[in-house]
Amino acid sequence: MNKKLGLASKIIIALDVGTRKIALSLVKKLPEAEVFKIGLKLFTAEGPSLLRELHTAEKKIFLDLKLHDIPNTVSGAVEIAVRHEVAMMTLHASGGKEMLARAVKAATQAAKDTGRPRPVLLAVTVLTSLKDDQLKEIGFQADTAAQVLKLARLSWETGVDGIVCSPLELDLLRREFPRDFLIVTPGIRPLWAAAQDQKRIMTPAQALAKGADYIVIGRPVIKAPSPQKAFRKIMQELA
């Protein structure tokens, strides 16, 4: 994906809904939104046919399946995602160096073979649902910040395009990596929106000012009485 796109392409709308019907009605209500994130729930419900429908609506797709498996399986899934013309997709950095490197190679090769764009590959470092104690339970000795940094570095070294992280990790990560290493942050709340279960939040303007390349917003837009008005309000705040 072109890194110098307009403002609307920096706002990724999380289609965290359970059916094609609701998803497409939201897409229709958001004509100015360009990128939509499809996660595990919606993809499990509706599968690749929904990806085709988003293409028909001329939208870009962020496929957020957080792949984590043996290198052969992950690279196979990445290759198929290229065929679906996914613009961005996620994989778990903790899947290891070989898994990440094979994913990058598969994306590049499949893009070459099909003439389709190579998707932006984003690594997920530490799930924000895990705290230091829980990391220890699964065998990670480092605290969260150190573990995030370690996995971000591993991702960068393997040629992954960027990472997904909390807005509160932006300062740390922007200091450590070149500017073209992409950062995508969820946990975004405009001042006028309720925080819901997000605890470590920032406004869209703060996150972009601190160096996020893309921000992911779900409920403040998709649950708003008028999703279009909410989206426009965010655009105006950013302009």
Question: Smallest gap, in angstroms, from Cβ of residue 188 to ligand C5P?
Answer: 6
CA dist list (Å): 111 to 38, 81, 120, 236? 21, 10, 11, 35
Sole binder of ligand C5P in the list 11, 183, 217, 230 (CB under 6 A) = 217
- Look at residues 82, 10, 28 and name the one whose alpha carbon lies nearest to residue 51: 82
Question: Smallest gap, in angstroms, from Cβ of residue 212 to ligand C5P?
Answer: 13
Map tokens 């995602």 to a residue: 81
Site string for ligand C5P, 28-57 (x = CB under 6 A): -----------x------------------
Residue 144 or 198 having the CB closest to ligand C5P: 198
By the rule CB under 6 A, 105 interacts with ligand C5P: no
By the rule CB under 6 A, 90 interacts with ligand C5P: no
**Helix intervals (H) in the chain:** 20-29, 40-46, 48-56, 71-83, 97-114, 132-137, 144-158, 170-176, 204-209, 219-222, 227-238
Map tokens 């070149």 to a residue: 178
By the rule CB under 6 A, 167 interacts with ligand C5P: no
Question: Smallest gap, in angstroms, from Cβ of residue 85 to ligand C5P?
Answer: 21
Residue 79 or 161 having the CB closest to ligand C5P: 161
